[in-house]
Amino acid sequence: MYLRTILLFLTILFPITALFARDLPRVHLTSQQNNVLAMPLTENYVDTSAGLTLEQVKQPAYAQRFEPAKEMLLSYGFLNAAVWIHGSVTNTTGSNAYLLLEYANIDTITLYYYHKGQLRTIEAGSHRPLANNAFLAPGYSFLLPEADSAGRALEFWLRVRSGNSVIIPLTVTTAEGLWYSYVRMYGWELLYGGIIIALLFYNLSLYRWIKEVSYLYYIGYLFSLAGFVLLYLRGFRVFLGQRAADFICEYGASLVAISYMFGISFAISFLKGGLYAPRLTRVLRVVTWLMCITLITNFAGYRAAAMHQEQLFSLITPVLVIMLSLTVYQQKYSPALYFLVAWSVLLAAIVVFAASVLGLLRVRIWTLHAITIGSGVEVILLSFALGFRYLLLKKQTIALQNSSMEMIKQHNVKLEQKVSERTEELQEAMNRLSAGNAMRNKLLGIVSHDFKTPVGNLRWLMGQLYSGNNSSEKVTRLREEVDTELKRISVTMDNILHWSLTQMERLEPQPETILLQLLFEEIMEDNKVAAQKKKIVQTIAVERGTCCRADKGQLRLILLNLVHNAIKFTHAGGEVTIGAMAGVEPDRVEIYVADTGIGMTALEVAQLVGDESIHSRQGTSHEKGTGMGIMVCKEFIEANGGILKVKSEVNLGTYFYFSLPVCK
């Protein structure tokens, strides 16, 4: 009977003894080691029922199920269970010790430990008041009892449960070692926050200058993404107060959807998606509308469902934006390269973080910073894209300004040329008008003076003819004088008519072959009466068959004027010769009219052939002249390809000559 009782007692006592005999991992805090990553020095157990109490897990049946932790932090992904952590701490520093869970999104954490024989229970977590923490900082903190002077270990249990992914980084530290924890855990976040502020002001300044909606989308993306990373993911919401912290904890995951909505709008606007990739753009717009459903789901209270949707969008959206960037970059739009790299970096960070959370990759301390680092690099690259586009716009603006200035200069040059041309045309018109006015006045003088005298003479002669008291000799003489006056009027009229036609550019030469001997004989016959009246000998000097190419009517008028002038300025008994000979050039014939008249000075010769003015003077028998004959001769000779030249000596005579093409 006694033996059976002893055996039964030993059977019950042995497991308990074995339990207490098992070595419990222990964290040692010393003055040289005041900050310890404690997770590898603990053991843990997953309560799948999430219903066990401390007393139950302390029982041998459950205590044996605790397993030593092998990683620097625990990660279970989305876990609908409670995680128990068991460990002990010795503190020989003389300072208070703290237990830190350096991850912001844990719903509930309960710390159990015995102090002076009494069980102490402290609760913290995102669903608990901020005041439950030992101090206000991202993550969760517990103050452990003062150090035991005897160096005895403090045994503790942690119960952790969360509706988010379960990530548990555990640190035991003294007050002096706190800075190591927060620099290690949140140094990247502080740098990230500085980058966000700098990019915010930089892009706001660019928007004020450019006024392009892409910059507003980027600023919205910057705000919402930074809000998700800093306030929700890394826990800096605790500095905003209890109400704001509770709101962000409950609905902060929606910032992912909001940031992606801004990011998609930014990508479409900046990359000109509607132009370069219309199909992908439509797909991205559909994704944007689907994210609105996620927001509604979250704010309706279905937090878990919303988070699962956001995880899906967190992978789909970067992939679609990368495809859009690649498509646009292939269209030779170089700023798209920044988008391609930026969203690739973000996608890589998301994949690493998600794989670590789901247990596909080993979780490291830096894993908690993957999203922070990835999004930080992304927003910097996107800002570079905006800056690069700003430089492109600036270059295009400068090029456009230079082009505009060049166009203005060219326009000014053309305008100045046109003004100069118009001024020249106006000046020419004014000169022509002035010359025309002068010519008109001269013509009026000619008409009023040179026509008045012969017309008056004709009236007197006609009156004498019809008087009835004339002898036959007197009648003959009167008829000859009437004929002379009529020829004088005819020559003057021909000169005025032909000169007027040349001034109006309506008289074009019609070249033909002209036998000069026949033409010279006609000229001499026309001037026979005037020559006989002054007893002037007319001579023709030309070889038979000599010919030229010219307008016959114009050449006849030229010779009539020259012979008429020669008779006019030759004394009675003098000689007038009209002739032709081979020119200096072999294919031209020289035509001349020479007289033995009063001649001209060198100045008079220069005036006669050097300008277009009308000069007139009286003949040797006081003959009147219009002064137009020589002008008509010069213009008609030039029109037929020649130049009128003059040789003259006072009281010895004058030699007019010009050359025309010989006939072939």
Taking only the tens place, the pLDDT of each residue in 98-146 is 999 988 888 899 999 998 889 999 999 988 999 999 988 888 999 998 8
What pLDDT shows up at residue 2? 43
CA dist 173 to 34, 76, 316, 367, Å? 5, 25, 41, 21
Residues 295 and 359 in one domain: yes
Q: Residue 369's closest CA among 496, 538, 190?
A: 190
Reply yes or no on whether the pLDDT at 25 is more than 90.
no
616 and 569 Cβ atoms separated by less than 8 Å? no
Reply yes or no on whether the pLDDT at 617 is more than 70.
no
Residues 166 and 265 in one domain: no
Domain of 108 in residue numbering reads as 23-184
The stretches of 504-588 forming alpha helices (DSSP H) are: 516-526, 528-533, 552-568
Here the tokens at position 609 are 């052939």
Pairwise CA distance, residues 557 & 377, whole Å: 99
Residues 72 and 154 in one domain: yes
Measured from the Cβ of residue 525, the count of other Cβ atoms closer than 10 Å reads: 10
**How do 97-101 and 35-37 pair as beta strands?**
unpaired
Domain presence at residue 421: no
Residues 42 and 94 in one domain: yes
Reply yes or no on whether the pLDDT at 252 is more than 80.
yes
Domain count, the chain: 3
Domain presence at residue 489: no
Pairwise CA distance, residues 252 & 237, whole Å: 10
pLDDT, mean of residues 496-523: 77
Domain presence at residue 58: yes
DSSP 227: I
pLDDT, mean of residues 334-351: 87
Residues 133 and 261 in one domain: no
What pLDDT shows up at residue 10? 40
Q: How many residues does the chain have?
A: 664
What pLDDT shows up at residue 462? 74
Domain presence at residue 490: no
Residue type, 335: P
Q: Report the chain's C-alpha Rg in angstroms.
A: 61
How many degrees, rounded to 5, is the angle at CA 120 between CA 33 and CA 242?
A: 85
Domain presence at residue 272: yes
Here the tokens at position 474 are 């007197």
What pLDDT shows up at residue 261? 94
Last residue of one domain, picked from the residues 396, 427, 443: 396
Can you give the pTM of this predicted structure?
A: 0.58
263 and 161 Cβ atoms separated by less than 8 Å? no
Q: Is 587 helix (H, G, I), strand (E, B) or coil?
A: coil
352 and 361 Cβ atoms separated by less than 8 Å? yes
Residues pairing with 577 in the sheet:
539, 594
DSSP string spanning 262-275?
HHHHHHHHHHTHHH
Helix (H) and strand (E) counts in the chain: 19, 19
Residues 218 and 355 in one domain: yes
Here the tokens at position 489 are 């009027």
In this structure, the dihedral spanned by the alpha carbons of residues 241, 242, 247 and 249, taken in order and rounded to 10 degrees, is 100
Helix (H) or strand (E) holding 155: strand 154-161
Place of tokens 């020589």: 630
Could you tell me the sign of the dihedral formed by the alpha carbons of 26, 32, 35, 37, in that order?
A: negative
Domain presence at residue 430: no
Residues 163 and 223 in one domain: no
CA dist 357 to 41, 344, 352, 360, 512, Å? 21, 20, 9, 8, 111
Could you tell me the sign of the dihedral formed by the alpha carbons of 75, 80, 81, 87, in that order?
A: positive
pLDDT, mean of residues 395-409: 81
Residue type, 636: F
562 and 576 Cβ atoms separated by less than 8 Å? no
What pLDDT shows up at residue 447? 55
Mean pLDDT of the chain: 82
What pLDDT shows up at residue 479? 73
Last residue of one domain, picked from the residues 347, 368, 396: 396
Question: Which of residues 359 and 271 earns the better pLDDT score?
Answer: 271
Residues 301 and 221 in one domain: yes
Domain presence at residue 486: no
Place of tokens 């509607």: 274
Last residue of one domain, picked from the residues 369, 396, 423: 396
The percentage of the chain sitting over the pLDDT mark of 70, rounded to a whole number, equals 84
Residues 173 and 229 in one domain: no
Place of tokens 């902060």: 252
Query: Helix 370-450 vs helix 472-503: angle between axes, to the nearest 10 degrees?
Result: 180
pLDDT, mean of residues 280-289: 94
Place of tokens 């954490």: 109
Per-residue buried b or exposed e for 197-207, using 16+ beta carbons within 10 Å of the residue's own CB: eebbeebeebb
pLDDT, mean of residues 145-162: 83
pLDDT class of 612 with cuts at 50, 70, 90? low
What pLDDT shows up at residue 89? 93
Phi-psi region of 235 (alpha: psi -120 to 50; beta: other; left: phi over 0): left
